[in-house]
Amino acid sequence: MTVRTAELVMAIVMGLFSAYLMMKSAELPYGWIPGEGPGGGAWPFWLSAIMLVCCIVMVVNWIRRTNPPSQDMEAFFPAGVLKNSGSVALVLTLVVGLFNGVELGGVTLLPAIGAYLAIFIFMVFYVGVLGRHDFVKTAIFSISVPVLTFLFFELALKIILPKGVTEPLFLPIFKYFGLGGL
């Protein structure tokens, strides 16, 4: 896919999204209610309408080739970029899924392994696989980042992160610091 094609695809997708927003906004009155001013749906409805107009203008610009992306015949994702940015985006998505697990129609797609283990996996992937750092560095960063996250967020700031199946491992720590009952 060239940048030029991507520009058109994005404009069409965003145009469809704008139309969807308009439909969704129209669930509430979007006109002017006498004595009260605009209805509850008016603000998002008319703004989405402007978005749709903008998308149409983008398509026109694309046909007339007036802006840089519509003239750019390079690949939208050169091979190296897809490999780096794409793999990071993909792994990041998987990692977020692992926080609390993902289920679809009763089938477990990703198990809930909790934030800390998921962060560990992400660090191993990024530092070790993508960054090609040696084992020692990978180990240091992959272990210290989740540990520091735990110390800072959970113990110092009392912000509880999802733990999934690893939860029992944390109970003694909470007990040790007296965070549970008395």
Partner 1 sequence: MTKHKAISLGMAMAGAAALSMTTGLGSALAADWKPAKPVEFVVMAGKGGGADKAVRYMQGVIAEEKLGPTITPVNKAGGSGAVALNYLKGKKGDNHTIMFTLNSFYTTPLRQPKLGVNIENFTPIMRMAEDTFCLWVNTARKDGNNIKSVDDFVKAAKAAGDKWIMAGTGKNSEDNLLTDFLNSAYGLKMKYVPYKGGGKVAKQLAGNNADSTVNNPSEQEGFYKAGNTRPLACFTDKRIPLFPDAPTFKEIGKDFVYYMQRTVVGTPGMSADAQKYYNDLFTKVFNSKKWQAYRKKKALQGDPLAGDDLMKYWKRERDVHKAMLKKMGAIK
Partner 2 sequence: MTEIVYLLLDGFYVAFQPLNLALIVLGCAAGLFIGAMPGLGSVNGVAILLPLTYLVPPTGAIIFLAALYYGAMYGGAISSVMLGIPGASTAVATTFDGRPLAKMGMADKALTAAAVASFAGGTISVILFTMAAPPLAHIALVFGDPEEFALMMLAFATFIGLGGDDIAKTIFSICIGLVLAAVGFDTVSGEPRLVFFDITNFMDGVKFLVLAIGIYGIGEMLWTIEENTRAGGASQLSKATVSLKRTIANLRELVRSWKTMVMGSVLGYVVGILPAAGATPGSLMAYGIGKQISKDPDSFGKGNVEGVIAPEAANNAASTGSMLPMLTLGIPGSPTTAILLGGMVLWGLEPGPRLFSDEPSFVWGLIASLYVANFFAVVLNIAFIPAFIWVLKLPFTLLAPIIFVLCLVGGYAPTQSMYDVWLMLLFGIVGYLMRKLDYPLAPAVLAIVLGPLAERALRQSLLISGGELSIFVDPVNRPYAAFIMYAALVLLFLPLFMMIRRRLTSGKAASTEPS
- Smallest gap from Cβ 161 to partner 1, in A, equals 11
The C-alpha angle with vertex 24 and arms to 61 and 9, in degrees rounded to 5, equals 30
**Cα 2 to the chain's mean position, in Å?**
24
Which range, of 41-49, 74-82, 129-137, 151-159, touches partner 1 by CB under 8 A? 151-159
Query: What DSSP state is assigned to residue 66?
Result: -
124 vs 137: CA distance, rounded Å: 10
Binding pattern for the stretch 153-182 against partner 1, x by CB under 8 A and - elsewhere: --xx-xxx---------xxx-xxxxxxxxx
Instruction: Name residues whose C-beta falls within 8 Å of residue 103's C-beta, 6 or more positions apart in sequence.
Output: 109
What is the token pair recorded at 24? 């969704």
* Residues lying near partner 2 in the complex (CB under 8 A): 3, 6-7, 10, 14, 21, 24-25, 27-28, 32-41, 43-44, 47-48, 50-51, 54-55, 57-58, 61, 67-69, 76, 78, 80-81, 83-85, 88-89, 92-93, 95-96, 99-100, 115, 119, 122-123, 126-127, 130-133, 137, 141, 145, 149, 153, 157-162
